[in-house]
Structure formats: C-alpha cells, structure tokens
C-alpha cells in the first residue's frame, strides 16, 4: 500500500511530539533541574500568569490569658505577582523540490526526522539563551531570564508587576567581591547563609565554568556527593550543603568563556543561588511544545509546520534568591 505524504508526515509528528518537551528541557542544566524537581507546571489559561505571594505575617497571633479579648482585626498578608505570557515558535519547512527528491516512504521519514531534530536542537538553545541571557539583552517578547528575577542591582526594578522600591521583601540578595582573586569556597559559604532563612535554603547553585573549576581546585582531594538525577541525564555536578552545583556554558566568565562579543551579555563571573521551590517554568496547556500539522502556504511550493510554546519563567519569593559575582 502506498502511504501518502500527508499521512506519513502526520504519523511522524505524532511520534516525535511525545518526546519533544522532555528532550528540550533535559538538554541544559537549568531547565533539566527544573523539570526533574517538578518546577515545570502547566496552566489552562488566563490573560496573565499569577503567582500568589505571602509578604507579611498575621499580626493577630498573640499570647493571651483567661478572658482577654482576642484580636479579630482583618489582615492583609497576601498579594500576587503577575507575569505575562510569552510565545516562542519554530518552523519545519519542506519544499516541493525536497519532497520530490526524497520520494519514497523511508526517504521522506528520514527527511522529516532530520528537520525536526534540527528544530529541537534550535529550540533547546533558544530556551537556554532566554533563561540565562543578561537582563539587558532580554526583549519584551522573551521568557524572563533568571537575571531579571535575580537582579544584579535590586532596589529600583519592577518584577511581576511589583516595584522593589520600598518593598525590601521583594528584593533578591546580592554579593560582589571586587577582588580579582576571590576565594570561592569562603565567599560561597557566607553567601549561602545570607540567602538562607531557617529551613529555606538554595537547592540549585548555577555557576560558570571558571568558578566551578576554581571551587574544585580549592577543594581538591575532598569527596563530593552528587545529584544522581542530574548525572543520569548527563550533567556533572556536586552537592554543596544540600544544593546541586552545576555550570552552564551560557554563564560567562572572564577567562575560559568570556563572551566579549556581547553574544549573550551575561554579567561576568556570576553565580546564582536559587531556591527553585519559588521558581516555575509555567507553560500553557494548549501550547506545550505543540507541533501543528503540515500546511501549504498559498504562495509557495512547500509545506510548513510550527512548534509552538507559550509560557514564562516566574518567581513567587525573590528574597530567597541570590546572585554572587566577583571581579
């Protein structure tokens, strides 16, 4: 039986659709960690993404004796951060010429798989760029980068519709060591405690290659535990006070990977101390790496399909996030 091009294309899309989201998220340290720890969630709709926040204590909690009057005053300790939906798309296109040159079921299948694989790799790279690019390079259409949620200079920014000015509870922590030869072990230890509050501690430390190597050098000969889930998907790491430490090529440094051409514009020699319990990659349920059917444009001898994503990176507690950097 001769299989039509449309039927084969549909079957191919159905086969790859099931693995695309996992494959894309597992390709980079930050998104892989978020996926493995349940920080990727889906929502059914809404004009915006809303994150409920607790920003104050309940002031009616007091000690009392006997017939003392209890405080029943109304309290307002809740608010919300509001984030906008962002859209990302990539296109698979096959010209009539390519289709004719690859006539035959196996040839068409291989062509489709090759083009979809390229689209998958491109989507991986784009998402990682958006997550880790500098706040100064992020456009209004991009997913919010970590560098916006965990800013290098908190105090006068507006994030999630909430101004930092006058709201210290909505400001992330920062530390900068101007020394050109920092002691990463000492700096990280102090800053880890600065970002922690009681049982609330960073669970992901995302750094650059140079600082990752420097920490290893300073602690040579010591035994490190690892995050086996991250090792299983291919990312070298070690555990630090319970947090998983990984490096990402998108994180700039001044020696090994200095992006002096401004490719990514990330702040040099930065390390993020993240409590991902309060971070989320929120995806719209109807645009969760959806592959559309192939369609033919009215003015081209070709067929095109789109890979569609709708979502954003959000935060519900910025004071438990931190950014360390050095000269």
Cross-strand partners of 308: 89, 290
Cα distances from 111 to residues 11, 16, 20, 102, 104, in angstroms, run 14, 13, 17, 7, 11
Cross-strand partners of 163: 158
Residues 143 and 155 sit within 8 Å (Cβ to Cβ): no
What pLDDT is stored for residue 9 in this prediction? 67
What pLDDT is stored for residue 308 in this prediction? 94
Residues 236 and 228 sit within 8 Å (Cβ to Cβ): no
| H-run or E-run covering 294 | none
First to last CA, the chain: 67
What pLDDT is stored for residue 321 in this prediction? 97
Residues 206 and 247 sit within 8 Å (Cβ to Cβ): yes
| H-run or E-run covering 313 | strand 302-315
User: The pTM is what?
Assistant: 0.87
What pLDDT is stored for residue 56 in this prediction? 59
What pLDDT is stored for residue 22 in this prediction? 80
Question: Which three-class secondary structure string do you get for 199-221?
Answer: CECCCEEEECHHHHHHHHHHCCC
What pLDDT is stored for residue 65 in this prediction? 87
Cross-strand partners of 310: 87
> Across the 327 residues of the chain, what is the mean pLDDT of every consecutive 10-residue run?
58 70 87 94 93 74 87 72 96 88 80 86 90 83 94 92 92 88 90 96 95 93 90 93 94 57 58 97 93 88 91 96 91
Three-state SS at 14: helix
What pLDDT is stored for residue 76 in this prediction? 61
Query: Residue 59 and residue 56: Cα distance in Å, rounded?
Result: 9
Residues 238 and 304 sit within 8 Å (Cβ to Cβ): no
CATH dotted code for 5-56+75-326: 3.90.1690
């Amino acid at each position: 039986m001769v299989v039509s091009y449309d039927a084969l294309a549909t079957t191919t899309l159905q086969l790859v659709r099931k693995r695309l989201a996992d494959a894309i998220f597992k390709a980079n340290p930050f998104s892989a960690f978020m996926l493995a720890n349940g920080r990727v969630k889906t929502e059914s709709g809404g004009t915006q993404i809303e994150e409920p926040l607790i920003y104050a204590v309940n002031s009616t909690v007091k000690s009392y004796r006997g017939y003392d009057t209890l405080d029943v005053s109304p309290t307002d300790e809740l608010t919300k951060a509001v984030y906008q939906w962002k859209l990302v798309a990539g296109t698979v296109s096959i010209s009539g010429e390519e289709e004719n040159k690859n006539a035959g079921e196996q040839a068409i299948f291989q062509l489709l798989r090759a083009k979809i694989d390229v689209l998958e790799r491109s989507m991986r790279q784009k998402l990682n760029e958006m997550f880790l690019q500098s706040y100064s390079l992020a456009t209004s259409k991009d997913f919010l980068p970590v560098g916006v949620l965990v800013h290098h200079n908190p105090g006068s920014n507006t994030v999630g519709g909430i101004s930092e000015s006058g709201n210290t509870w909505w400001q992330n922590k920062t530390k900068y060591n101007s020394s050109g030869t920092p002691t990463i072990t000492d700096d990280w230890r102090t800053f880890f405690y600065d970002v922690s509050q009681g049982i609330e501690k960073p669970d992901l430390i995302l750094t650059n290659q140079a600082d990752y190597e420097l920490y290893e050098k300073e602690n040579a000969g010591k035994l490190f535990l690892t995050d086996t889930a991250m090792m299983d998907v291919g990312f070298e790491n070690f555990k630090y006070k319970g947090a998983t430490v990984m490096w990402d090529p998108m994180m700039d440094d001044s020696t090994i990977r200095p992006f002096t051409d401004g490719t990514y514009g990330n702040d040099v020699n930065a390390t993020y101390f993240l409590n991902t319990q309060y971070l989320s990659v929120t995806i719209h349920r109807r645009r969760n790496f959806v592959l559309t059917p192939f369609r033919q444009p009215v003015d081209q001898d070709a067929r095109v399909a789109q890979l569609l994503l709708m979502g954003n990176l959000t935060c519900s507690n910025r004071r438990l996030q931190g950014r360390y950097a050095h000269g």
